[in-house]
Every structure is written in C-alpha cells, then in structure tokens.
C-alpha cells in the first residue's frame, strides 16, 4: 500500500510486508495491510503509526478515516493498537486521537486497556452496535470425529444428510464472486437488508490478496448457496453468505460450513469463527444457563449448533476530539447527528 505511511518520530517506513508479518503474529485481519488496501480502494484513508526497537516493529496501529456527510472526519480502529507492552499501546492511541474529529475504537482482547485506562483516553462506551458483540468459535485442533461429536444432534444429522441429498461443495475463484453476489442478494432481500455492491466484493477479493476464500454448494452442478470467508493468522472467519430459498430445506449452509471447517483444519488453522451471535445468548451460555427460547430458529441458534465456544467480543468506544463534545458525548450519542456517524460506519464496515 504505497500511499499509507508508517511513522515513528518523523520517520516514514513503507513496508507492507513487515507490517503484515507483525500483524499475523499479534493481530487480526482489520489491522492488516491487505485490509487497508481494500478500504483505501473503497474511499478510506489509511494511516499507520508504529513504534520500533532496533529496526523491528514493537507496536503499531492502523487507523481508517473518511469524511461523512456532516463534514466530520471519522476514524475507525478495529483490533488495535498491537503491542506486547501496555505503555506502547497507550502511547499509540494518544498519537492517533488527533487524526480525526471522531474515533470509533474496538480494542484488541490483549488486556492492555482497562476500563479506567479507556476513560483516561477520553473514550466513552458506544451503545450503537457496528461490530459483533459476541461470537462462537470452533477449535479445529480437535479431530473431525470430535468436532462432529460436539455438534448439536440435528446439526450432525444434516452434515451427513446433505451428502445424501446430492449437495456437493467446491472452492470458488474470483470468477464465482458474481455468482456469490447474486445468491447474497437473494438472501438479503428475503431478510430485509441491502447488500454491498458487486464491485465492492470484487475489490475486496482483489485487494485482500489470498486472505479470502469462497465455497460454493451445488446440486447436480447447479449452484444453490455460497459463503465468503476470511483466513488470517490462525483463524478462518465466516463473512457473508447467500442461498437460494427453494433449496433451503436441504440445509446447504450446513454443508458449506462443514466443508469450510474441514478445509481450514487441513490447512492448519486453529479456529473457525462464525463471526457474530446475539450477546444475550452468549451471556446465557457462559453463565451455564439454558439458551432462552426466543433465540430458537435464529442465526445464533444455527451457529451454536456446531458446538463451538461462545465468546464475548471487545466492545466499541467513541471519542470526540472537541472537549465540549467529549464532555457531553454520553448524551449526544442518542442524538441524530452522532447516530448518523455510527450509521455511516455500520454501512461501510464489512
């Protein structure tokens, strides 16, 4: 990413390779150079700040910024800053706070940022959800037999039955992105939301440079469902899906997820992340309570059927550079202009 610079005490280092090596060891896809390339191609500006020791990166953060319709420069940090030292991570956050009028931040789950430290940086809890608040993750270091045994009985039944129904799964290529988008549009219309454009997904595929995988389910050679996933570090994460309603009864999504899990395991990934379940469901599971009935027949119920562990994701926080706005930001978060900022971000954070 030639336009994005890595700064340290005025020095500039353009080295996506070094940054990606650092992020693969310590972080997740939204902090990678590849993700920055994709977001830059869709209208965001990318800035990275790093701290170095003896020529090696020991801490860094990637910030995305973009002007919204109100003329405010809005910044987003997901899963950063990255550092083994809390003092460096805190210093990095102080550096980037001056680069946007408003910053939405999801810290990494590395324990560096206590609630007190976050408040001292001027961040307030953001009550408007723009990223998942909980998820479910399957441990792929287990045998396939153990993975199957951990599944809900009905899920395991459909893993086997989809084969008897003639469902086969193949890996897709860039040529299949158009097919995926068509299926994604169909399921989006059924569920009442507007999907991102075909151009966005084609750009994502091109810019993420091998960090995306696509799986296609077929019956007698006819595509009936598709799933887009990211593969970064030690984790494969489901991102977007699409299916034909007239084939929903034979559960092609179960075939897709099982095929993707087996592929990820063969490739040496440790975790399969379903990226997003309802936090209330995760809270109940982690407290050892039964799943509340209102979560039955929901995407959360489907994902939990694969037997993974529920996890609470890092919350998001909101910072306003203007001290007056910052002082009253808890009140303003309920007002329309701040909601427009978070709505703007939600629409653009794939």
Paired tokens of 244 = 């034909």
> Which pLDDT score is estimated for 330?
54
Is the same domain home to 297 and 201? Answer: yes
- Asked if 278 and 171 sit in the same domain, the reply is yes
- CA–CA dist 32, 60 (Å, integer): 11
Q: Looking at residue 81, what is its pLDDT?
A: 92
| Claim to verify: residue 89 and residue 159 sit in the same structural domain | no
Give the Cα separation of 69 and 76 in Å (integer).
16
State residue 13's pLDDT score.
46
User: Residue 347: CB partners within 8 Å, gap ≥ 6?
Assistant: none
Question: Residue 328's pLDDT is what?
Answer: 56
pLDDT for position 223: 97
Q: Is beta strand 6-8 parallel, antiparallel or unpaired with respect to 45-53?
A: parallel
293 in any annotated domain: yes
* Pair 114, 206 in one domain: no
Number of structural domains found in the chain: 2
* Judgement on whether residues 280 and 142 belong to the same structural domain of the protein: yes
Helix (H) or strand (E) holding 278: none
Domain CATH for 126: 3.40.630.30
For residues 193 and 299, state if they share a domain. Answer: yes
Residues 274, 89: Cα–Cα separation, whole Å? 28
Q: Specify the pTM.
A: 0.87
What's residue 132's pLDDT? 87
144 and 242, same domain (yes or no) = yes
269, part of any domain: yes
Q: Is residue 1 part of a domain?
A: no
Whole-angstrom Cα distance, residue 348 to residue 75? 12
List residues bridging with 49 in a β-sheet: 7, 61
Task: Take residue 263 and report the two structure tokens written for it.
Answer: 């592929």
* 101 and 60 in a common domain: yes
Residues of the chain with pLDDT under 50: 1-3, 5-13, 336-337, 343-344, 346-350
pLDDT of residue 17: 84
List, for residues 18-61, the tens digit of each pLDDT value.
Answer: 888 899 888 899 999 999 999 999 889 999 888 888 878 889 99
Domain that holds residue 124: 6-131+316-348
In three-state secondary structure terms, 56 is: strand
At 38 the three-state DSSP class reads: helix
User: In terms of domains, do 184 and 299 share one?
Assistant: yes
């Amino acid at each position: 990413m030639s336009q994005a610079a890595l700064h340290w005490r005025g020095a500039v280092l353009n080295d996506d390779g070094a940054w990606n090596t650092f992020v693969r060891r310590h972080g997740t896809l939204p902090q990678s150079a590849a993700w920055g390339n994709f977001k830059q191609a869709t209208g965001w500006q990318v800035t990275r700040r790093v701290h170095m020791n003896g020529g090696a990166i020991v801490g860094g953060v990637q910030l995305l910024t973009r002007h919204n319709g109100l003329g405010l420069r809005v910044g987003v940090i997901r899963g950063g800053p990255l550092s083994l030292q809390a003092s460096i991570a805190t210093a990095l956050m102080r550096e980037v706070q001056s680069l946007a009028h408003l910053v939405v931040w999801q810290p990494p789950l590395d324990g560096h940022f206590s609630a007190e430290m976050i408040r001292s940086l001027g961040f307030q809890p953001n009550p408007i959800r723009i990223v998942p608040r909980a998820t479910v993750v399957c441990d792929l270091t287990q045998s396939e037999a153990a993975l199957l045994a951990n599944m809900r009985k009905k899920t395991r039944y459909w893993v086997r039955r989809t084969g008897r129904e003639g469902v086969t799964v193949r890996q897709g290529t860039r040529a299949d992105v158009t097919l995926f988008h068509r299926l994604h549009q169909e399921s989006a219309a059924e569920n009442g939301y507007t999907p991102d454009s075909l151009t966005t997904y084609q750009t994502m595929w091109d810019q993420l440079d091998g960090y995306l995988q696509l799986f296609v389910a077929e019956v007698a050679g006819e595509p009936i469902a598709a799933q887009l996933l990211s593969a970064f570090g030690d984790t494969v994460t489901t991102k977007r899906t699409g299916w034909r309603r007239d084939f929903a009864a034979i559960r092609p999504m179960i075939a897709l997820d099982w095929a993707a899990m087996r592929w990820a395991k063969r490739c040496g990934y440790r975790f399969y992340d379903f990226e997003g379940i309802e936090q209330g469901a995760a809270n109940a599971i982690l407290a050892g309570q039964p799943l509340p009935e209102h979560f039955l027949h929901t995407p959360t119920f489907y994902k939990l059927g694969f037997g993974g562990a529920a996890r609470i994701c890092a919350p998001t926080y909101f910072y306003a550079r203007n001290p007056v706005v910052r002082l009253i930001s808890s009140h303003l978060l309920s007002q329309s202009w701040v909601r427009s900022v978070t709505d703007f971000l939600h629409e653009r954070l794939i």
